[in-house]
Amino acid sequence: MSELSLTPKKSMPPVHLSDLSLKERKLKCEELGLPGFRADQVSRHWYGHLSNDNTSWTDMSRADIETISEALLPQLLREVRTLDCDGGMTRKTVWRLHDNSLVESVLMRYTDRVTMCISSQAGCGMACPFCATGQAGLTRNLSAAEIFEQVRAGAQAMKHDEIAGGEGRISNIVFMGMGEPLANYNRVITAIHRIVKPVPEGLGISARNVTVSTVGLVPRIYDLAKEGMPLRLAISLHAPDDELRDTLVPINLQYKVSEVLDAAWHYSETVKRRVSIEYAMIRDVNDQAFRAEMLARLLVGKDVHVNLIPLNPTEGSDWTASRKSDEQKFVEILERFNIPVTIRDTRGREIDGACGQLAAKEVNVQ
142 is a contact residue toward ligand SAH (CB under 6 A) = no
Q: Assess whether 355 carries a catalytic annotation.
A: yes
**Taking the CA of residue 267 as centre, how many other CA atoms within 13 Å lie in the half-sphere pointing to its CB?**
32
Helix, coil or strand: residue 326: helix
Q: Assess whether 30 carries a catalytic annotation.
A: no
Residue whose C-beta lies closest to ligand SAH: 356
Nearer to ligand SAH, 90 or 314 (CB): 314
* Separation CA 12–CA 297 (nearest Å): 44
Q: Return the range that interacts with ligand SAH (CB under 6 A); candidates 1-9, 124-132, 157-165, 251-259.
A: 124-132
Q: Please state the closest distance from residue 286 (CB atom) to ligand SAH, in A.
A: 11
Q: Please state the closest distance from residue 67 (CB atom) to ligand SAH, in A.
A: 38
Which residues inside 197-256 make contact with ligand SAH, applying CB under 6 A?
A: 213-215, 236
130 is a contact residue toward ligand SAH (CB under 6 A) = yes
Under 8 Å between Cβ of 155 and 145: no
* C-alpha distance across the termini of the chain, in Å: 6
Specify the length of the chain in residues: 366
Short-list 38, 113, 23, CA closest to 71: 38
308 is a contact residue toward ligand SAH (CB under 6 A) = no
Q: Return the range that interacts with ligand SAH (CB under 6 A); candidates 7-15, 19-27, 217-225, 309-317.
A: 309-317
List, as one string, the DSSP characters of 192-207. Answer: HHHHHSPTTTS----G
176 is a contact residue toward ligand SAH (CB under 6 A) = yes
**Residues 6 or more apart in contact with residue 62 via CB below 8 angstroms:** none
Q: Please state the closest distance from residue 314 (CB atom) to ligand SAH, in A.
A: 5
Q: At what angle do helices 218-225 and 257-271 cross, to 10 degrees?
A: 0
**Residues 6 or more apart in contact with residue 264 via CB below 8 angstroms:** 221, 233, 235, 275, 277, 304
Q: Going residue by residue from 35 to 74, which x/- string records binding to ligand SAH, judged by CB under 6 A?
A: ----------------------------------------
Query: Which one of 29, 104, 128, 180 is the catalytic residue?
Result: 104
The contact set with ligand SAH (CB under 6 A) reads: 126, 128, 130-131, 176, 180, 213-215, 236, 278, 280, 309, 311-312, 314, 355-356
Catalytic residues: 104, 355
